[in-house]
Amino acid sequence: MTTKPLAGKRALVTGGSRGIGAEIVRRLAADGASVAFTYGSSITDAEKVVADVTSRGGTALAIQADAADPVQTTAAVERTVAELGGLEVLVNNAGVVHAAPIDNYPAAEFDRQVAVNINGTFWAVRAAIGHLGQGSRIINIGSCLADRVQAPGVSVYAMTKGAVSSFTRALARELGPKGITVNNVAPGPIATDMTPTEGEFAESLKRTTALNHYGHPKDIAAVVSLLAHPESGYITGADWNVDGGFTV
């Protein structure tokens, strides 16, 4: 019987109830990890992910927590460690986006994106670092928009994801001596509820990729799984563009 590559590993995925996050949870569990994930408000979506994982013999734990709240984030990490018995893989996936011209960008939306996309990543790492040991992985989910922006209105989102990319590189240097790798996965156009695959905008977005089509959440989950793999221990501080050639 073939041993699953992540057997015995414990993982936490922030924002894991829908879209890319849910697919990451499913993939890590399929590869043998016990996976906790946070969700914001949709308990129905969270329960479905748990049911999907457990029906295939895996272990999944849903934890309600606002990624922007350091107290809730810390509590989610502590619960993960308590119920799963430890933590080796942290995936910072929780993120929000709001598109609007910069000259009348809503202050509340600016604050929310910074709070979730930047602060949330920091607080999750800070809460988890005391539990992560030699061979552990931190995998951040950024965006190809940190490198290349094809349309107006997403400057704030691009800024926050650029910060995630910079944080990844600096943190890789800081945590390298502890044997902890830190990498950033930067999705391009992926078929989720945030990026509909139909309509005029969708068709124009497809044409910005070299492959001329949207990706799937499974494409992102596959790269996250690769970076979590025990044999990926010499990869750190890297930006992995999974964007169908959007940035070429």
Q: Which residues are catalytic?
A: 157
- Cβ–Cβ under 8 Å, residues 9 and 83: no
Task: Tell me the H-state helices in the chain.
Answer: 19-30, 43-55, 70-84, 107-113, 120-128, 155-175, 200-206, 217-228
Tell how far CA 165 is from the center of its chain.
12
> Do residues 98 and 109 make contact, with C-beta atoms less than 8 angstroms apart?
yes
Report d(CA 145, CA 151) in Å as an integer.
10
